[in-house]
């Protein structure tokens, strides 16, 4: 009988004594209390000091001290509290706290195949300007992509009546595999080359700190901050655009994986030696569900070949119109894509058991992809012996929500800096 021998473990990897996981010091993964106070107030719009103390489970005196620092830093402001206001001179009117919206501004940009979108938000997360920039449907060099992003940023600044000095940072979401901590696009379907330092190059051009992430992750941040995920500890977002993406929230935080490149649902394999994916491999889920997969099927089954003036969007609209008009071949294309999507969603549920699965992206208008028969097949493919299956929510937000999520990426980083040590600490 084979037994595990302690001597089989390298000396450097085995503690001298004790057992169990070696955890970091208590609370080291939680943000500083000053940031927790600020986040608590921002998430509720307005809140009194005593309610903040009750919610966080700390003393009112501690909250009062931290609030004073945040007020002095210009990050919070006092506003009228809830309930009827006193009309006599006796007693102090109820006072609440709110984020000082003009304390700072950030921009968010979503880079895409056909249209780049951008938005500027204030420190309370409210949009103040937006812009779009159309581009050719082709893979490009990083220099041109930097030019396009900078042009979009300038358009937003003009609309907002701001200069670049008013911005604290820029967040960027782009498709592909992105090393978020280092700001590097390891691979992107809209870029030529591998391992491109997007954050560094964008920052040098824009003259601002730049934070970069996968576009599905920034959309998930939008759901976490503004959408259906605000009150959920765990949920998954599956995006259907030109490709297939996924974002995952665990314990109220975006989870990217050990190397920040996880959750590539579109590149999980659903068919050995199957259809060619734009990543260069075969059998990826994306190769059966995404825009280009549907267009490929349409060109074969319906002889809908793209003209020079036709975009992917035009081809998809044509396919969808024919399906709605009763064309059985067009319907079968959507049904086939829906079945593969059901496989992908079932795998997400089996792996992560989220409270909710949110389907989002421009393709949500193609209801064949989330018809009841698709959801029924998803449930049939899920291990469901006595378990509670998650809700499935359809969210057909417009393009700007991606850019707003990218702005939130920057806003989160600036908030951490300014409440944990920067201006608030000073």
pLDDT digits (tens, 9 = 90+) for 137-177: 677 899 999 999 999 999 999 999 999 999 999 999 999 99
Of the given ranges (60-64, 201-205, 255-259, 403-407), which has the lowest mean pLDDT?
A: 255-259
Of the given ranges (75-79, 295-299, 346-350), which has the lowest mean pLDDT?
A: 295-299
Averaged over 49-53, what is the pLDDT?
Answer: 94
Residue intervals of the chain classified under CATH 3.30.420.40 are: 103-220+401-420, 227-397
Averaged over 12-35, what is the pLDDT?
Answer: 65
Give per-residue burial for 119-153: e unless 16+ CB within 10 Å, then b.
Answer: bbbbbebeebbbbebebebeebebeebbebbbebb
Residue intervals of the chain classified under CATH 1.10.10.10 are: 33-99
What CATH topology corresponds to 103-220+401-420?
Nucleotidyltransferase; domain 5 (3.30.420)
Spatial distance between the Cα atoms of 220 and 246, rounded to a whole number of angstroms: 8
pLDDT, residue 422, reads 44
Class of domain 227-397 (CATH, top level): alpha beta
This prediction's pTM = 0.86
Query: Two tokens at 327?
Result: 């064309």
pLDDT at 377 over 50: yes
pLDDT digits (tens, 9 = 90+) for 327-371: 888 889 989 999 999 999 999 999 999 999 999 876 777 777 778
CATH code of 33-99, in short, is 1.10.10.10
Averaged over 240-265, what is the pLDDT?
Answer: 90
Averaged over 242-266, what is the pLDDT?
Answer: 91
């Amino acid at each position: 009988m084979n037994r595990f021998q302690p001597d089989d473990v390298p000396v450097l990897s085995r503690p001298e004594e004790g057992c169990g996981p070696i955890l970091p010091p208590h609370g080291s993964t939680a943000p500083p209390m000053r940031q927790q106070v600020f986040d608590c107030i921002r998430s509720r719009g307005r809140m009194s000091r005593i309610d903040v103390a009750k919610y966080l489970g700390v003393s009112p005196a501690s909250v009062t001290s931290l609030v004073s620092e945040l007020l002095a830093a210009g990050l919070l402001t006092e506003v009228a509290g809830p309930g009827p206001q006193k009309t006599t001179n006796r007693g102090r009117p109820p006072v609440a706290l709110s984020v000082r919206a003009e304390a700072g501004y950030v921009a968010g940009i979503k880079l895409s195949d056909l249209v780049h979108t951008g938005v500027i938000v204030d420190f309370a997360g409210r949009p103040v300007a937006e812009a779009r920039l159309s581009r050719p449907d082709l893979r490009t060099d990083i220099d041109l992509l930097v030019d396009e992003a900078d042009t979009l940023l300038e358009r937003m600044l003009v609309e907002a009546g701001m200069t670049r000095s008013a911005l604290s940072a820029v967040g960027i979401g782009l498709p592909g595999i992105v090393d978020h901590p280092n700001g590097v696009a390891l691979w992107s379907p809209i870029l030529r080359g591998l391992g491109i330092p997007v954050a560094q190059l964008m920052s040098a051009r824009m003259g601002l700190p730049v934070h970069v992430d996968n576009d599905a992750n920034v959309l998930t941040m939008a759901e976490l901050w503004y959408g259906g995920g605000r009150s959920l500890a765990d949920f998954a977002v599956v995006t259907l655009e030109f490709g297939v993406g996924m974002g995952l929230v665990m314990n109220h935080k975006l989870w990217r994986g050990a190397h920040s490149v996880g959750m590539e649902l579109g590149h999980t394999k659903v068919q050995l030696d199957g259809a060619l994916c734009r990543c260069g491999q075969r059998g990826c889920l994306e190769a059966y569900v995404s825009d280009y997969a549907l267009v490929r099927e349409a060109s074969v089954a319906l002889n809908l070949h793209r003209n020079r003036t036709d975009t992917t969007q035009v081809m998809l609209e044509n396919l969808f119109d024919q399906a709605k008009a009763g064309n059985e071949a067009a319907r079968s294309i959507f049904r086939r894509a829906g079945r593969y999507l059901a496989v992908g969603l079932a795998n997400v549920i089996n792996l992560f058991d989220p409270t909710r699965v949110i389907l989002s992206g421009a393709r949500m208008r193609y209801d064949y992809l989330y018809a009841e028969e698709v959801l029924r097949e998803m449930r049939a493919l899920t291990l469901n012996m006595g378990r509670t299956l998650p809700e499935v929510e359809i969210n057909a937000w417009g393009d700007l929500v991606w850019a707003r999520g990218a702005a939130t990426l920057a806003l989160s980083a600036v908030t951490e800096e300014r409440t944990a040590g920067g201006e608030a600490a000073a």
